[in-house]
Structure 1
């Protein structure tokens, strides 16, 4: 349990990841050496105002399962089984990979039916053990 980390991501990006619509998270820093997951996706308490202006964001959210329930803030909303990372070199050319960023490739994403309330932090952070146990129990079926 001690190896599980969480990453706080602003909306709408967190919802797109949880829905399996955004398999790449862009960061200015690489995944720490040796870390592969699991990773808990925490929806921050704020929106990324620029994110809403990106073409296709609203459409991808509307097409996602559970789109009618609205966005969740301040909670763990998904579990990612595996994370790989690479520097952008013109790859991940779909609409989600940003030029010049570190691309965190997220595999095996499971959305949580019941979000787990939590306070986010910067960088990778260690969620409390109760949150980890609850999230992993859902993701492992």
Structure 2
């Protein structure tokens, strides 16, 4: 199985269903679209300032800029108080990677402005993540940049 390392709090927001897209500057490999991938929480320490920024934006008229669902706010408020609640350096679960979409299109889905630029094709890519399955407990593991391989046995 291919696994993608994502920093916290975003990895756990995906597992909670509050972050339906992962944003990258590159399109996901066609060979992985429609496939189940692992979601790994990177080793990087949780940054309270990043959580605070998300909280402020979710409470503002620019909530669309986070591309998070409203249920992310109470989670972020709790994690801001206790960032150690977020696991790091572990595979949290899996999700099905959908066909990437333009980041501008997804921002519009959340109420953001529609892109009027002629550079529309240069937008970040939004990777839909659906059919979330959490591991309980998460699997401690080192990650890597980009996609990496995890050997798992079928049950």
Greater helix fraction, Structure 1 or Structure 2: 2
Alignment of 1:1-141 (within 5 A): 4-36=1-33, 37-47=35-45, 49=47, 51-52=50-51, 53-54=53-54, 55-56=57-58, 59-61=73-75, 70-93=85-108, 94=110, 100-127=123-150, 129=151, 132-133=152-153
Q: Quick one: structure 1 residues 48 and 63, their matched pair in 2 at CA, closer, same or farther if it must change by over 3 Å?
A: closer
Any stretches of 5+ residues in structure 1 without a counterpart?
none
| Mean CA deviation greater in 50-59 or 22-31 | 50-59
Take 1:38 and 1:26, find their aligned partners in 2: how far apart are those partners? 17
Corresponding pairs, count = 123
Native 8 Å contact 1:5 1:40 kept in 2? yes
CA deviation after TM superposition for structure 1 residue 47, in Å: 4.3
Q: CA RMSD in A?
A: 2.8
TM-score for both structures, normalised by structure 1 = 0.73
Native 8 Å contact 2:97 2:127 kept in 1? no
TM-score for both structures, normalised by structure 2 = 0.67
Higher Cα Rg, which structure: 2
